[in-house]
Amino acid sequence: MGKNIVQKILERHLIAGELKKGAEIAIKIDQTLTQDATGTMAYLQFEAIGIPRVRTELSVSYVDHNTLQTGFENADDHRFLRTFASKYGIYFSAPGNGICHQVHLERFGIPGKTLLGSDSHTPTAGGIGMLAIGVGGLDVAVAMAGYPFYMNMPEIIRVVLRGKLNPFVSAKDVILELLRRLTVKGGVGKIFEYAGEGVKTLSVPERATITNMGAELGATTSIFPSDEITYAFLKSEGREKDYIELKADEDAQYDGEIEINLSELEPLIACPHSPDNVVTVKSVEGTPVDQVCIGSCTNSSYKDLATIAEMLKGKKIPSTVSLVISPGSKQVMETIDKMGYLKHIIASGARILENSCGPCIGMGQAPATGSVSLRTYNRNFEGRSGTKDAKVYLCSPETAVVSALNGKITDPRKFGEEIVISYPEIFEINDNLIFPPSENPESVEVLRGPNIKPLPIAKPLTEVLKGTVLIKVGDNITTDHIMPAGAKILPLRSNIPAIAKYVFHNIDETFHDRALKAGGGYIVGGENYGQGSSREHAALAPMHLGIKAVFAISFARIHRSNLINFGILPLVFENKDDYQKIDRDDELVMENYVDKLFKNEPIEVKNITKNFTFNVKANLTPRQADIILKGGLLNFVKSVS
């Protein structure tokens, strides 16, 4: 029987298990990446495992999320990350070099290899044919120590692309179309493998825009074949030696299929406050815009910025609009400069930011009260921009720039002539902000500042679990709701007691104090609890506050793993209706549940306050049950090594 691309890569990396849908498999990880907001914790965890050098083929530590340095905390983290990387065999990409996913595509990604990254948009590298998965920092730490990565074998869905995109319709519209059809839950437990003649019409950065936002579908990852287009991209990076061809066999089998006709797509836009709230640009045309932001790991490639520069040429941004551009990398910046595009952007009145995540993670450029912000980013969760009542829309660079020029949402097809941009034969390759690890690690001292607090360690679970429901939330709660980011909170990522003060802060400011006072308790959530970012702080900080279990209708993949990694039980209602019957402050008790965790049997929960019982399931593999009982993955790894 023929094989698809995902099966071919997994087969070459399989360490344990069988490639059968739903079965637990262990795979070898070739490369890892971290970014600063998740990296400090990941490296403290790696250090706690006690291995002198990373055991991967390549590990890279990027600084791109928090580069504002509003106080010493942030700068201390950067210094810690730089010295740690040097000592432990990790490449260091310094602040200003660019967004991890964009730089990884440019300088390190290799078709056919596996990549594990402590950032949910790690699947961006699927654009170059890598099997790239986003996870929590602890999973990356364990992979750096040479242990395999465990997951349940996802379903593999073939996405067949037919035809060719029309002018002013772009890769962003392809993934917005998928989000429109499938919603933010539609990809949970799935890998999307792209195929069909339409694939050949898309460059690597366009493919990467699509695989990047597969994260918003909740997918494990997304991947494109590696073909002559991939070869051309690697060649323009001076890395053609890294090329291998990757394609599915003619008779490859899949668990499902979706077809998209590129020729029929039109410009799309995600309305506030969810990436799947997608409509045609035409249908919201005329809405006045106050701010337009172009950048993020979704849309900040050379193609994106050269295109908008060409559109801005000789034009001026109206006084009512603030146009903000953050290039994806130093390479993109240097190349648009060399090719003569940068000057059109500057002349138009756009504001140019550092090559980093910037406003995407709420680091600056919070929109005005109640205003409309059009962004080429991937997430528009309420409050993520830094302004709670701002209305954030997600769209393509073409839609963003035409709308900026008109001061209102505009269908980019009205721009007129098709945009033609020129490409350099080779990009401006200048790796002077990438530092290889030291050859004399013994001589390197890891520098820590006062903001780097010791790792909190989970306490093993007790035989009887008793506690109160501290908060009850609805469906699609994001990790941004659980553990917000932004300029005030991000600097505290390596200081759990300090960051824990902000858990659920935008939903219920009293959560932290109540949790501390009660000595912990439970969280109750609806469907797809914990979607979005990979930040393990959304599990670590609740663990610090004594949360023992989360009861939900369903969980998002990365957050569920993070809960397990930190010894918190992810429990699913056997009967969905029981969700309705529980309220905040109810007291819940579970007895004799430990055996049931191992046998994956229903666990009975008594609601003492309301005097009824209901059943939940943890759906853990025996290995995961063991991790929870040992008080988390770190304790588990130490106990087996």
| Residues at the contact surface with ligand SF4, assessed by CB under 6 A | 65, 99, 119, 121, 296-297, 357, 360-361, 378
Can you give the C-alpha Rg of the chain in angstroms? Answer: 24
Among residues 37 and 374, whose Cβ is nearest to ligand MIC? 37
Task: Write the CB contacts of 71 (distance below 8 Å, at least 6 apart in sequence).
Answer: 491
Say whether residue 307 binds ligand MIC (CB under 6 A).
Answer: no
Q: Dig out the tokens for 267 from the structure.
A: 């410009």
Q: Dig out the tokens for 41 from the structure.
A: 């914790």
User: Measuring CA to CA, how many Å separate 224 from each of 12, 29, 204, 503?
Assistant: 17, 19, 9, 37
The catalytic residue among 379, 537, 544, 557 is 379
534 binds, among ligand MIC, ligand SF4, none (CB under 5 to 8 A by kind): ligand MIC
66 binds, among ligand MIC, ligand SF4, none (CB under 5 to 8 A by kind): none
Task: Write the CB contacts of 442 (distance below 8 Å, at least 6 apart in sequence).
Answer: none
**Nearest approach, Cβ of residue 457 and ligand SF4 (Å):** 28
Q: Which residues 122-141 are close enough to bind ligand MIC by CB under 6 A?
A: none
Among residues 4 and 378, whose Cβ is nearest to ligand SF4? 378
99 binds, among ligand SF4, ligand MIC, none (CB under 5 to 8 A by kind): ligand SF4
d(C-alpha 496, C-alpha 431), whole Å: 34
The gap between the terminal CA atoms of the chain, to the nearest Å, is 38
Say whether residue 571 binds ligand MIC (CB under 6 A).
Answer: no
The catalytic residue among 64, 139, 242, 276 is 64
**Nearest approach, Cβ of residue 13 and ligand SF4 (Å):** 25
Say whether residue 103 binds ligand MIC (CB under 6 A).
Answer: no
Q: Which residues 346-375 are close enough to bind ligand MIC by CB under 6 A?
A: 361
296 binds, among ligand MIC, ligand SF4, none (CB under 5 to 8 A by kind): ligand SF4
Alpha-helical regions (H) of 283-429? 302-312, 330-338, 342-348, 397-406
Task: Give ∠ CA 328-5-31 in degrees, rounded to 5.
Answer: 50
**Nearest approach, Cβ of residue 104 and ligand MIC (Å):** 13
The catalytic residue among 86, 203, 533, 534 is 533
Beta strands 114-117; 31-35: pairing state = parallel
User: Measuring CA to CA, how many Å separate 618 from each of 225, 552, 554?
Assistant: 36, 10, 11
Selection from 578, 476, 491 nearest residue 529 by Cα: 476
Among residues 165 and 363, whose Cβ is nearest to ligand MIC? 363
**Nearest approach, Cβ of residue 45 and ligand SF4 (Å):** 20
Judged by CB under 6 A, the stretch of 101-109, 115-123, 216-224, 329-337 that binds ligand MIC is 115-123
Whether 139 is catalytic is: no
Q: Report whether 532 contacts 480 (CB < 8 A).
A: yes
Whether 578 is catalytic is: no
Beta strands 603-607; 587-590: pairing state = antiparallel
Among residues 65 and 330, whose Cβ is nearest to ligand MIC? 65
36: three-class secondary structure by DSSP? helix
Q: Which residues 481-520 are close enough to bind ligand MIC by CB under 6 A?
A: 485
Burial class (CB in 10 A: 0-12, 13-18, 19+), 11: exposed
**Mask for 513-552, x = binds ligand MIC (CB under 6 A):** --------------------xxx-----------------
Edge to edge, the sheet with strand 221-223 lists 221-223, 190-195, 155-162, 256-261
Say whether residue 120 binds ligand MIC (CB under 6 A).
Answer: yes
Residues across the chain: 641
Among residues 296 and 468, whose Cβ is nearest to ligand SF4? 296
Whether 64 is catalytic is: yes
38 binds, among ligand MIC, ligand SF4, none (CB under 5 to 8 A by kind): ligand MIC
Task: Give the residue, chosen from 32, 34, 38, 221, that forms a contact with ligand MIC under the rule CB under 6 A.
Answer: 38
The catalytic residue among 13, 65, 101, 493 is 65
**Nearest approach, Cβ of residue 482 and ligand MIC (Å):** 11
Among residues 38 and 373, whose Cβ is nearest to ligand MIC? 38
Task: Return the H-helix or E-strand segment holding 8.
Answer: helix 5-13
Whether 379 is catalytic is: yes
Q: Dig out the tokens for 601 from the structure.
A: 């049997």
316: three-class secondary structure by DSSP? coil
User: Measuring CA to CA, how many Å separate 126 from each of 122, 131, 191, 202?
Assistant: 8, 6, 11, 13
Selection from 639, 640, 587 nearest residue 613 by Cα: 587
Task: Write the CB contacts of 261 (distance below 8 Å, at least 6 apart in sequence).
Answer: 162, 163
**Nearest approach, Cβ of residue 377 and ligand SF4 (Å):** 6
221 binds, among ligand MIC, ligand SF4, none (CB under 5 to 8 A by kind): none
**Nearest approach, Cβ of residue 40 and ligand SF4 (Å):** 16
177 binds, among ligand MIC, ligand SF4, none (CB under 5 to 8 A by kind): none
Say whether residue 376 binds ligand MIC (CB under 6 A).
Answer: no
Among residues 119 and 411, whose Cβ is nearest to ligand MIC? 119
d(C-alpha 495, C-alpha 44), whole Å: 12
The catalytic residue among 119, 411, 578, 586 is 119
d(C-alpha 325, C-alpha 291), whole Å: 11
Task: Write the CB contacts of 46 (distance below 8 Å, at least 6 apart in sequence).
Answer: 54, 88, 141, 144, 145
Among residues 301 and 533, whose Cβ is nearest to ligand MIC? 533
**Per rule CB under 6 A, count of chain residues that contact ligand MIC:** 11
Q: Which residues 49-68 are close enough to bind ligand MIC by CB under 6 A?
A: 65
The catalytic residue among 413, 493, 535, 537 is 535
**Nearest approach, Cβ of residue 257 and ligand MIC (Å):** 28
d(C-alpha 57, C-alpha 285), whole Å: 49
535 binds, among ligand SF4, ligand MIC, none (CB under 5 to 8 A by kind): ligand MIC
Burial class (CB in 10 A: 0-12, 13-18, 19+), 40: buried
**Nearest approach, Cβ of residue 483 and ligand SF4 (Å):** 14
d(C-alpha 418, C-alpha 563), whole Å: 49
**Nearest approach, Cβ of residue 337 and ligand MIC (Å):** 27
Could you give phi then psi for residue 488, rounded to 5 degrees? -80, -35
How does DSSP classify residue 369? T
Whether 535 is catalytic is: yes
Whether 443 is catalytic is: no
Among residues 326 and 624, whose Cβ is nearest to ligand SF4? 326
By CB under 6 A, name the binding residues for ligand MIC: 37-38, 65, 119-121, 361, 485, 533-535
Residues labelled as active-site residues: 64-65, 119, 379, 533, 535
